[in-house]
Structure 1
Amino acid sequence: MPAAGRERGAITPVNLFMHTEIRPDRTISVEDPLSGPGDRVVLRARMDLRIAVAACCVTESRCNSGRSTSLTVIVSG
């Protein structure tokens, strides 16, 4: 946000429902999910923030059991 007089920090993505492993040869493998239907994550912001939610770019893979499903995001406060 240079216009606001702030330097842009590094963007650090968080994978909440995708199960990946880093192999000894430094490649990344996508494994069967550890989460299941109905699992959820509740986050509390302790400062102003911007958040983005993105779907997996692969519609059918091991990370989603071979099918795309819906996602519900609730923002309260």
Structure 2
Amino acid sequence: MWAMRRTAAMAAMTSRRSFSTTLQDPSVLDHLVCPISKYALEYLPEKGILFCRDIRVAYPIRNGIPILVPTEGRLVPDDEEM
């Protein structure tokens, strides 16, 4: 039983790392859009977010998984540099 849990946990960690790496692939980003505006998202790894420049909304990435839920988006003020 312990071995199965350990294997599942290791697989989850690997998939999280893989997904973060996948976000750096432009062809993947071509398919991800802002759930509010439907405009393209920009991956900002140093901030750990996906950012929609058109409406200035930032979506968090938690454990390597983008949270593209409108209520999770944060409106970024114009004076905050992105």
**Coarse TM-score class (shorter-chain normalised):** under 0.3
TM-score (normalised: structure 2): 0.22
Bigger relative contact order (CA 8 A; separation at least 6): 1
TM-score (normalised: structure 1): 0.23
